[in-house]
Amino acid sequence: MSSIRIGPAAVLAGALVAGSAYADLPHDEIGQAKLPFPPEPHRAYIVDMEFDTMVATRVSVVDADSLRMLGMISTGGAAPATLSHDGRTVFTADLFYSRYTRGTRTDVLTAWDTSTLEPAWEVEIPPKRASTIVQRYGLTVSDDDRFVYVFNLTPATSVTVVDVQARKVAGEVALPGCILNYPAGKRRFASMCGDGSLLLVTLDDAGQEVARDKVKLFDPDHKPLIERGIANAGTYHFVTLDGVVQGVDLGGDKPRVLEPWSLLTDAERKAGWAPGGWQLLAIAPKLGRLYVLMHPEHQPHMWEDPSTQVWIYDLATHQKLGTLESPNPIWTLHATGDDKPLLLGGNIEGGLEVFDLTTGKHLGTKPKAAKTAVQILSH
Amino acid sequence: MKLLDRLFERSTRRVAETTSRRAALARIGSWIVAGSALPLLLPIDRVAGRALAAETGKPGDPGDPNSCDYWRYCSVDGFLCTCCGGTVTSCPPGVEVSQVTWIGTCRNPADGKDYIISYNDCCGKQSCGQCACTRNDSEQPMYRPFNNNDINWCMGAKSQVYNCTLAVIRGVAN
């Protein structure tokens, strides 16, 4: 190929005349993008349950720094999603019908490679997976990535335990009267029960139940709490409908119920402030801060309402540190786990709101990051 | 009302009413709170204030079953089957009723009695997308599943795929 060197003026003149002054571009290679490993801490996985169909659903992957979409994972039937601790895998619990909306039902746990966003492997699981608005603790992973726990609701409740190492179902644990699975350490998970207790199930290395225990956590009749809590270093934090935080430390041998504390002063409560939303709590572990969606003019039926206000608390002192204001109402929150954390909010239009938690600044909105953003995850 | 209606149709099952209301609040200011959104929060006021344009035609069962304000929908959460090709008690053509359901209690403004209403989901075709309605007057967290509408109640049907929701009288509550 010949190359001709010409001056800028000649380039301009040539471009104006014919546009033929450049050498031909080389022919392209068709490729396929791949995401880096280890994954960036600000890579957001947005669980999109696409409420207007809820059949073919997805996880959309977005770089929260550049607000650019990085890719997608196609899921089946409003699938819950969770990330392995080693950063290599996105697990989704998919529900498919052989004829799209009808026919034979097949439930699978799918393990997706976080770099290629392709399925690495799958395991067929009992056709019982809970079909709900996607909950953070509907699908979880043991601390050592050995077992995945899938919440079932038929309406009998149970957990399917999948052995990641053997890539097969290890068994099913019945959870009469209890919902979801809150992982605790390598071989234990908790489940929240209608009588206000947490059921703790301990497994052995084969994924079989070896012990179960119960601890009273709350009064479901007079002080109901919202099941969509958030974990930090073995401790789960929940909030009651009227804004009292109830923690429980599941990190030790025995669960330890922590002293409750209020998000609100009496004056704020009297003025009508209350928590609300779907995933309404987030924790930035490196800052030791709790973020809560709060709204004014509260009425009892508004406990799942979205809000433009996020209140910030110090987890150690329980002091309110400030508020964040979103340009759009947020329904689901997530804070990244790095030392320059972002707060990510799924807004009611399916957009992603991004806040820098070091400066408290709203960095931007990624519109249409999802259709129905119900959970946000990051490594 | 046009904007509010449009927002209703775009919304999600649980997000439906709440987000629509909030989005409306965020975008068009407080006049709509007094003009339109507030009655959504107060369905009984709304029923009393409406002209009852499309009555059921049944004596003692007042209101428009195509409207989220209809008294039986006091705890509904989803797309109204009346707007999807069905009726308040019948699924649309080719859509199967799920017999496993959750229930609410609604007061009939005509006789002042509380009725037990089951919110059976109709299943087997994807979301209908019409008349999203979320009233949640008696909803509780999911550890009380039979009082929770964040659950897809198609679990009693052949297909779990959710289409729309009925509101069926099961008796008078004592």
- Express each pLDDT in A258-267 by its tens digit: 999 999 999 9
Q: Return the exposure string of A144-155: e unless at least 16 CB atoms fall within 10 Å of the residue's CB, then b.
A: ebbbbbbbbbee
pLDDT at A194 over 80: yes
Look at residue A280 and tell me if it is in a domain. yes
pLDDT at A20 over 90: no
Report the DSSP beta bridge partners of residue A291.
A282, A312
CATH number of the domain residue A197 falls in? 2.130.10.10
A301, B137: Cβ pair inside 8 Å? Answer: yes
Which residues of chain B neighbour A225 with C-beta distances below 8 Å?
141
Given the residues B102, B111, B137, B153, the one annotated as active site: B102
Which residues of chain A neighbour B151 with C-beta distances below 8 Å?
130-132, 153, 155
**What is the complex's ipTM, to 2 decimals?**
0.87
Which residues of chain B neighbour A349 with C-beta distances below 8 Å?
23
State the count of interchain CB pairs (< 8 A) between A and B: 120
Look at residue A15 and tell me if it is in a domain. no
A305, B124: Cβ pair inside 8 Å? Answer: no
pLDDT at B76 over 70: yes
pLDDT at A79 over 70: yes
Largest CA distance in chain A: 83
A328, B41: Cβ pair inside 8 Å? Answer: no
- Cα–Cα distance, B173 to A98 (Å, whole number): 42
Q: Which position has the higher pLDDT, B26 or A40?
A: A40
Look at residue A18 and tell me if it is in a domain. no
CB contact, 8 Å: B8 with chain A? no
Give me the number of domains chain A comprises: 1
> Which of B134, B140, B143, B165 to mutate: most A Cβ within 10 Å?
B143
Q: Confirm or deny that B117 is annotated as ligand binding.
A: no
pLDDT at B117 over 60: yes
- Per DSSP, A156 falls in state S
Given the residues B61, B69, B71, B121, the one annotated as active site: B121
Report the DSSP beta bridge partners of residue A168.
A163
Both tokens of A59, joined, read 């996880």
Residue of B nearest to A57 (CA): B126
Contact between B24 and B18 under an 8 Å Cβ cutoff? The reply is no
Domain B71-172 has CATH 1.10.150.20: no
Contacts of A209 (CB under 8 A, 6+ apart): A171, A173, A201, A202, A203
The pairs formed by A140-143 with CB atoms below 8 angstroms and a separation of 24 or more are A140/A82, A140/A181, A140/A182, A140/A183, A140/A189, A141/A82, A141/A83, A141/A84, A141/A85, A141/A91, A141/A183, A142/A183, A142/A185, A142/A186, A142/A187, A142/A189, A143/A85, A143/A183, A143/A185, A143/A186
Q: How many CB atoms sit inside 10 A of residue A59's CB?
A: 26
Nearest to A132 among B23, B150, B158 (CB): B150
- Which domain, by its residues, includes A102? 34-377
Nearest to B155 among A97, A131, A301 (CB): A131
Told to judge if B121 belongs to the known catalytic residues of this protein, a careful annotator would answer yes
Look at residue A2 and tell me if it is in a domain. no
Q: Return the exposure string of A11-22: e unless at least 16 CB atoms fall within 10 Å of the residue's CB, then b.
A: eeeeeeeeeeee
Residue of B nearest to A104 (CA): B159
- Cα–Cα distance, A373 to A118 (Å, whole number): 21
Helix axes B16-28, B2-10, angle to 10 degrees: 140
- Express each pLDDT in A108-159 by its tens digit: 999 999 999 999 999 999 999 999 999 999 999 999 999 999 999 999 999 9
Q: Confirm or deny that B77 is annotated as ligand binding.
A: yes
- Per DSSP, B83 falls in state G
> Which of A99, A106, A132 to mutate: most B Cβ within 10 Å?
A132
Report the DSSP beta bridge partners of residue A259.
none
B12, A49: Cβ pair inside 8 Å? Answer: yes
A131, B160: Cβ pair inside 8 Å? Answer: yes
In chain B, where the domains are located: 2-41, 71-172
How far off is chain A from B50, nearest CA to CA, in Å?
A: 23
Total count of residues recorded for chain B: 174
Look at residue A76 and tell me if it is in a domain. yes
Q: Residue for token digits 């989005």?
A: B23
CB contact, 8 Å: B142 with chain A? yes
Look at residue A240 and tell me if it is in a domain. yes
Q: Which position has the higher pLDDT, A314 or B174?
A: A314
Which residues of chain A neighbour B11 with C-beta distances below 8 Å?
51, 348
Report the DSSP beta bridge partners of residue A60.
A46, A72
Which residues of chain B neighbour A131 with C-beta distances below 8 Å?
151-152, 154-155, 160, 162
- Cα–Cα distance, B145 to B165 (Å, whole number): 17
Q: What is the mean pLDDT of residues B124-145?
A: 88
- Cα–Cα distance, A35 to A48 (Å, whole number): 20
Told to judge if B102 belongs to the known catalytic residues of this protein, a careful annotator would answer yes
Q: What share of chain B is helix, strand, coil (3-state, %, to 5)?
A: 30, 20, 50
B15, A51: Cβ pair inside 8 Å? Answer: yes
Look at residue A11 and tell me if it is in a domain. no
Contact between B23 and B14 under an 8 Å Cβ cutoff? The reply is no
Q: How many CB atoms sit inside 10 A of residue A98's CB?
A: 9
pTM to 2 decimal places: 0.87
- The distance of Cα A253 from the centroid of its chain, to the nearest Å, equals 27
- Express each pLDDT in A33-61 by its tens digit: 999 999 999 999 999 999 888 999 999 99
- Express each pLDDT in A230-265 by its tens digit: 999 999 999 999 999 999 999 999 999 999 999 999
Q: Is B87 exposed, middle or buried (0-12, 13-18, 19+ CB in 10 A)?
A: middle
Look at residue A13 and tell me if it is in a domain. no
Of A192-196, B24-28, B42-46, highest mean pLDDT: A192-196
Which residues of chain B neighbour A130 with C-beta distances below 8 Å?
151
Task: Give the Å distances, CA to CA, from A22 to A7, A47, B30.
Answer: 12, 46, 60
